Amino acid sequence: MHSTAVSLIELGAVCFGLGVLGRLAWRIGISPIPLYLVGGLAFGHGGLVPLGGIQEFTDIAGEIGVILLLLLLGLEYSAAELVTGLRRSWMAGVVDLVLNAAPGAVAALLLGWGPVGALVMAGVTYISSSGIVAKVLSDLGRLGNRETPVVLSVLVFEDLAMALYLPILTALLAGVTFWGGLTTVGIALVTITVVLVVALRFGRYVSAVVDSPDPEVFLLRVLGAALLVAGIASQLQVSAAVGAFLLGIAISGSTAENATRMLEPLRDLFAALFFVVFGLNTDPRQIPPVLGTAVALAVVTTVTKLATGWWAASRQGVRRLGRLRAGAALVARGEFSIVIAGLAVASGAVDPDLAPLATAYVLLMAVMGPVAARVVEPLAQRALTLMPQRT
């Protein structure tokens, strides 16, 4: 059979399969991310039916998926909202960073993966999945709850932390010198500052550049601008994902709303392919040896996220049940943990076991997060009703 025909058949089967898995995930009330990863594992290296005809396309599709994920994340915030959220949540953000980055870093050091591996795993265990958290809060009708602004403020801090973390990680994975690393950090800080200032004062002009009354032209402008900025950022070693995120922040008002509405289907498609690509590049036979470590990290970082939410909500005067809901909402990890692990694995600068460990960890946390958010309230209420009987 002609190679093009084989590639089309494989790609069609993958896309159709993703649709089936996505439908199944939403019917059983979990994020589709774990099922996408499992699908990639099944058809990648060491899987049931390895696919070899779509590697080149899926690799670039995965890159576009990361760019669109970060672009739409940036579109959700205005520069003013980011600044306000940072002022309000920086202490909670620091607590979140210390509590949840430490387990991953310690695990990597104990496994002998060195400082770079520790930095990678710190990021994997640190950042919550904004997509899963938002979906769960919406499904459970908690968007208007008193603790929800606390959760969103922590997520905003994490997103800003990623804007600094990713350039640093990219530089270290590339093996730059100490001074080169400082230069990269300086470029990242200056870039973020400039973008925030431009977005605050001249955001309407940035929006006007990409805006158009014609949907086709508008889509081409926004997507083209995102890829251009991401490519330039990557060339400057600031990270393509961060470049897309900063562009999203600079676009505001109705332009941001229209861009979000038009790009969401594309984001979901390419993001799904990104998770599949990560699974395709991970040998499922490598997961059992690291499963114990993944379970231990899942348990520890579930507790640390619960503690983060509890502490952050208590500072805002939220009652105990709301504090528990805030902590449980932050438990899920997903897209960004895989983005971080994907960057590390692609560089070849980390231990090969990092990919299966990250995969197993995200599989666990992407399922445990929504479950924890759903069961924390009834379990807490049942415990409160039983307490008087025990006394």
Q: How many domains does the chain have?
A: 1
> What are the φ and ψ backbone dihedral angles of 145, each rounded to 5 degrees?
-70, 155
The amino acid that residue 276 corresponds to is V
> pLDDT for 139-167, tens place per residue?
788 877 888 888 888 887 887 788 778 87
Average the pLDDT over 342-362 and give the result.
87
The CATH number for 163's domain is: 1.20.1530.20
> pLDDT for 275-309, tens place per residue?
787 777 777 888 899 999 999 999 999 999 999 99
CA-to-CA distance for 36 and 274, rounded, in angstroms?
9
> pLDDT for 166-179, tens place per residue?
878 877 887 766 56
Q: With respect to residue 344, please indicate whether it lies within any of the assigned structural domains.
A: yes
> Which pLDDT does position 182 carry in this prediction?
66
Q: With respect to residue 263, please indicate whether it lies within any of the assigned structural domains.
A: yes
Q: Which domain does 118 fall in, by range?
A: 17-381
Supply 172's token pair: 């270290």
What is the helix, strand, coil percentage profile of the chain, to 5?
85, 0, 15
Residue in 96, 93, 133 with CA at minimum distance from that of residue 328: 133
Judged by average pLDDT, the poorest of 189-193, 212-216, 272-276 is 189-193
> Which pLDDT does position 302 carry in this prediction?
96
- Tell me the average pLDDT of the chain: 82
Q: With respect to residue 88, please indicate whether it lies within any of the assigned structural domains.
A: yes
Q: With respect to residue 188, please indicate whether it lies within any of the assigned structural domains.
A: yes
> Which pLDDT does position 299 carry in this prediction?
96
> Which pLDDT does position 295 carry in this prediction?
96
Judged by average pLDDT, the poorest of 16-20, 76-80, 306-310, 383-387 is 383-387
Q: With respect to residue 389, please indicate whether it lies within any of the assigned structural domains.
A: no
Kindly report the length of the chain.
391
- pLDDT bin (cut points 50, 70, 90) of residue 390 is very low
Number of C-beta neighbours around residue 60 at 10 A: 12
CA-to-CA distance for 250 and 240, rounded, in angstroms?
16
Q: With respect to residue 387, please indicate whether it lies within any of the assigned structural domains.
A: no
> Which pLDDT does position 391 carry in this prediction?
42
The residue that leads in pLDDT, 362 or 274, is 362
Q: With respect to residue 126, please indicate whether it lies within any of the assigned structural domains.
A: yes
Q: Are 210 and 225 in contact (CB under 8 A)?
A: yes
CA-to-CA distance for 358 and 330, rounded, in angstroms?
18
> pLDDT for 195-226, tens place per residue?
667 766 777 778 888 888 898 999 999 999 99
Q: With respect to residue 388, please indicate whether it lies within any of the assigned structural domains.
A: no
* Helix or strand run (H / E) with residue 12: helix 3-28
